[in-house]
Amino acid sequence: MSPYDPSAFPPFAVTVDLVVLTVRRHALCTLAVRRGEPPFQGRWALPGGFVRPDEDLAGAAARELVEETGLCVQDPGTPAPAPGTGAHLEQLATYGDPKRDPRMRVVSVAHLVLAPDLPAPRAGGDANSARWAPVETLLGPEGEASALAFDHAQILADGVERARSKIEYSSLATAFCPPEFTVGELRRVYEAVWAVALDPRNFHRKVTGTPGFLVPTGGTTTRQGGRPAQLFRAGGATLLNPPMLRPEV
């Protein structure tokens, strides 16, 4: 058989699933929707849906994101024209185990979205309920009652690990922040994503000393209490060199 015979191919369903991460109340949270139908009816799952015949994968992911959250995505691939605006979206990995969906053969292209803290999930489309859940809860002990549907626990774990490692060597952590933010707010993002405590003084030295990472806006804020802090925007740099080091243990 020809490896590219277009007339005889096994048909697959292709979906996109979304790992939408944000930082809420010092914890890394993800968007979960409750399934309204079998299989896994009533269980939590990652948002997602079928790819349409005429859209590409990133487009399908962006569409699902708007439908579920109202969030707009910075043009993928293009360096953000207005850093801090909108969310970051990237492809995560593809999951295609023959048995991952009991009904049929579904290949799901998972995407990772990093978003600033949002007011509240609007249950758009057909999702009759949606919520931000701490990833600790969803990935907690094995066999948890709150376990995610399908292989979504694995997808979420992969997405979280991707985010954890990517903020080491890129400026992506700013995607969790509003357009203007303080060094302390950025530090709390790192602390939430890595679930560690960082030294405020060394962190400040590191981020302000990395060229192109942060651009001072001139303003200050006191919204965190304490001494007023300088406000920054994300700079043009996307890669951190040397990287931010994740503490051991």
> In terms of Cα–Cα distance, which of 80, 96, 97 is closest to 88?
80
Among all chains, which residue has been given the structure tokens 């809860």? 137
Give me 25's structure tokens: 């109340």
Computed from CA positions of residues 63, 84, 23, 194, in that sequence, does the dihedral angle turn out positive or negative? positive
If one asks whether residue 161 binds a second copy (CB under 8 A), the answer comes out as no
- Give the integer Cα–Cα distance in Å for 81 and 83: 6
For residues 2 and 13, the answer to whether their CB atoms sit within 8 Å is no
- Give the integer Cα–Cα distance in Å for 14 and 18: 13
Restricting to residues 69-108, which ones interact with a second copy according to CB under 8 A? 91, 93-98, 101, 103-105, 107
If one asks whether residue 227 binds DNA (CB under 7 A), the answer comes out as yes
For residues 109 and 94, the answer to whether their CB atoms sit within 8 Å is yes
Q: Report residue 203 CA to chain centroid gap.
A: 23
CB of 244 to a second copy, least distance (A): 13
98 binds, among DNA, a second copy, none (CB under 5 to 8 A by kind): a second copy
Nearer CB in complex with a second copy: 96/211:
96
Among 20, 32, 87, 109, binds a second copy (CB under 8 A): 109
Sequence-distant (≥ 6) Cβ neighbours of residue 125 within 8 angstroms: 67, 68
Maximum pairwise Cα distance, the chain: 71
Binding-residue pattern over the window 169 to 198 for DNA, x denoting contact by CB under 7 A: -------------xxxx-x-----------
Amino acid at 147: A
If one asks whether residue 233 binds DNA (CB under 7 A), the answer comes out as no
CB of 220 to a second copy, least distance (A): 35
Among 131, 230, 235, 237, binds DNA (CB under 7 A): 230
If one asks whether residue 11 binds a second copy (CB under 8 A), the answer comes out as yes
CB of 48 to DNA, least distance (A): 36
Nearer CB in complex with DNA: 40/169:
169
Which positions lie near a second copy, rule CB under 8 A?
2-4, 6, 9-14, 35, 37, 48-57, 91, 93-98, 101, 103-105, 107, 109, 125-126
